[in-house]
Structure 1
């Protein structure tokens, strides 16, 4: 929050008391039009991309695996971010004002926290699922039964609801912080306790799960690449030993680079787009809410962009998804049932 909007009412020995000034339209008309156009493109990409993921998994039985159950639920959360959160955040960012009342401000903030947290939780579940699929394939079907997958998806939705709607609607997120907020502003300021606890649950804990899971997956992929290389060497024994050894080494290195690249992109995008927001979210209450509003908006929209990229990271990396996207994008709804059966035969 920009310091220029704060008027101090209390002393250092009492709970923080501040009054926010009414909003003012500071942006030039041209910059507002540009921001509306730019952010609208992001919203459309978020909704369309995630809707394609949901539609593809729903229609094509070949895509209905335990992992893709998480991907589909993730796409639902990200699609809702684009439908019910981003449009109102866009208006607030561009106009600098809130036109929808204080009650809807709370509801919007609750939906924002809930859906973004649900999206992050699903990412950690996907990492957990892939860990068992790669590192413990023999027990994967037992560990990732339909019942357990349903339970994990329920947790991905219930926990975000508990840390969002409950505290925000009951004003527990501002316990110890007294403030007067005009009706034309929607400012999400939180207490130190809520900032730390919510950030730990919503981001840092899932981040730790993802880091550990993907590191173990990378090590397993590296080990499997070497084992495959060793098998290839045995099959090629006695025939062109030197060239076979070089080719085997190149194949192993290629597999390792591909695994490292894929996991690096997934983890790197997640950290780049969410780490700034949650870092500032924790730090801001301890520096008396002095973070510039421009930084808040920038880091918040970086997080939203992650919801736009998830369909590409978790969908387009899969060959079957790419084929399903192509089919869905080029035919009408009446042809989908026929092509769903066809895809089962064509998609390996």
Structure 2
């Protein structure tokens, strides 16, 4: 945080003075409105994902088990973390006490880390589905999926609640904080270790997995194009060749676009925060408070965008969302059977089966 603007640093055991609200009424109203929209989108979007997977049997696959658990983590970020962070950001003060500050920081670290872990598991799952389809059912059995989901929740809990509630994350930091300020300070060891576990290791997994997926998608697109050429049997050779080339380019472009968006959004919204998180203890906590707030909320926005990236881009999820929002979900039972009273066009719009993130 901006330790100089808070009067934080000095010689030896420095005490942080009580905070004061610096923003005027107009800017506070604007920030509350803007951030509230982000919170609502986070909660509603992720709740729709959970509801869709829980209701429709067609959406219940190994991949969507990770997507559902991811949506739960992101929804909890919107419900338990973002509202209090919004008040702290807008008001500049903490009104909820010292103990709840530690609890809020623990939940913040745990849920955001769990969200990132789930993203890496989805990348790992998609790697086996695309690059090793014959081994997919063996590698992604129900027991292994359940184990990975447990890991996605257990490891973030260990690196958050344990160190933070026991004050291990501030060991050696000679700064005393008053109760009306909730500043998440960390020592150098915790900053480096937690950032490596929470972000840089999952990022490496995602980069490797999606790079291999992209290469496999290009290879498969060329193989499909070659098969289409053989089926043409020499009829319309020139036009067939042009069409084959267009199809190949279309498939490769779609794969590159999808994977590029997924990785680009993840890196854009989380890389700044974790970079500053590591650097800040080594520059005597001199990062400006506004920079911290911007980078932190960029990370929160990633939880708002995950339903779009892992749900709205998929045709089956889009149909499920539209059915819920159009109150047509009652046309189908949980097993996907149509109710006789429903109209034909409602029956045609039910979610279909298939792997996610492959469309």
* TM band (smaller chain): over 0.9
* C-alpha contact 2:316 2:351 (8 A) present in aligned 1: no
**Alignment partner of 1:6 is 2:7:** yes
Extract structure 1 runs of 4+ deviating beyond 4 A.
332-336, 343-346
Residue 234 of structure 2 aligns with which residue?
Answer: 238
Q: State the alpha-carbon separation in 2 of the partners of residues 346 and 181 from structure 1.
A: 52
Name stretches of at least 5 consecutive residues in structure 2 with no aligned partner.
339-346, 354-359
**Alignment partner of 1:32 is 2:28:** yes
**Alignment partner of 1:47 is 2:43:** yes
**Post-superposition offset of 1:250:** 0.7
**Alignment partner of 1:347 is 2:347:** no
* C-alpha contact 2:317 2:351 (8 A) present in aligned 1: no
Change (3 A) 1:336 1:98: farther
Name stretches of at least 5 consecutive residues in structure 1 with no aligned partner.
12-16
Q: State the alpha-carbon separation in 1 of the partners of residues 111 and 8 from structure 2.
A: 32
Q: 1:166-177 alignment to 2 at 5 Å? A: 166-177=162-173
Q: State the alpha-carbon separation in 2 of the partners of residues 323 and 332 from structure 1.
A: 10
Residue 14 of structure 1 aligns with which residue?
Answer: none
* C-alpha contact 2:319 2:350 (8 A) present in aligned 1: no
Residue 161 of structure 2 aligns with which residue?
Answer: 165
* C-alpha contact 1:124 1:206 (8 A) present in aligned 2: yes
Q: Over residues 40-99 of structure 1, what are the superposed CA-to-partner deviations in whole Å (9 max), with x where a residue is unaligned?
A: 000000000000000000000000000000000000000000000000000000000000
What SS does structure 2 have at the residue aligned with 1:315?
helix
Residue 81 of structure 2 aligns with which residue?
Answer: 85
Q: State the alpha-carbon separation in 1 of the partners of residues 104 and 148 from structure 2.
A: 25
Farther-moved stretch of structure 1 (333-342 vs 39-48) = 333-342
What SS does structure 2 have at the residue aligned with 1:341?
coil
* C-alpha contact 1:328 1:336 (8 A) present in aligned 2: no
Q: State the alpha-carbon separation in 1 of the partners of residues 280 and 92 from structure 2.
A: 20
* C-alpha contact 2:214 2:255 (8 A) present in aligned 1: yes
Q: 1:120-269 alignment to 2 at 5 Å? A: 120-269=116-265
Change (3 A) 1:237 1:160: same
Q: Over residues 132-172 of structure 1, what are the superposed CA-to-partner deviations in whole Å (9 max), with x where a residue is unaligned?
A: 00000000000000000000000000000000000000000
TM-score (norm 1): 0.96
Flag the structure with higher helix content: 1
* C-alpha contact 1:20 1:180 (8 A) present in aligned 2: yes
Q: State the alpha-carbon separation in 2 of the partners of residues 205 and 8 from structure 1.
A: 32
Change (3 A) 1:111 1:336: farther
